């Protein structure tokens, strides 16, 4: 679950676009710290990352990185992302 600070104008704009369904993708920026690769399948599993940012976008690079629901909270907005596993990582 992610949170959006509604005291920020850009966050309120993002909320409006999420509610309209105009955007629902996520861009996740990180630097890989530690990973292992399965020799048979070639799939790389990220064990440790340095998370830099998560942004709401129209077209995510990983098509499964989507916001599933928008919930109201008292001071912030909670975004529920799809709890899917893609190549060994939860999205």
Asked if residue 83 has pLDDT above 60, the reply is no
pTM over 0.75: no
| pLDDT score of 1 | 65
Question: What would the mean pLDDT of 3-25 be, rounded to a whole number?
Answer: 88
pLDDT, residue 86, reads: 42
> What are the tens digits of pLDDT across the range 24-82?
999 989 999 999 999 999 999 999 999 998 889 999 998 888 988 887 654 544 555 55
pLDDT at res. 72: 67
pLDDT for residue 59: 93
Structure tokens belonging to residue 12: 């309120």
Concatenating the DSSP letter of every residue in the chain gives -EEEETTSHHHHHHHHHHHHTS--EEEEEEEEEEEEE-TTT--EEEEEEEEEEEEEESS-SSTT-BEEEEEE-SSEEEEEEP--EETTEE-
């Amino acid at each position: 679950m992610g949170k959006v600070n509604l005291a920020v104008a850009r966050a309120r704009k993002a909320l409006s676009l999420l509610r309209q369904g105009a955007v629902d993708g996520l861009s996740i920026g990180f630097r890989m710290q530690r990973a292992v690769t399965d020799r048979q399948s070639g799939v790389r599993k990220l064990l440790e990352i340095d998370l830099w940012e998560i942004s709401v976008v129209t077209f995510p690079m990983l098509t499964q990185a989507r916001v599933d629901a928008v919930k109201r909270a008292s001071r912030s907005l909670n975004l529920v992302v799809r709890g899917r596993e893609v190549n060994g990582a939860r999205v």
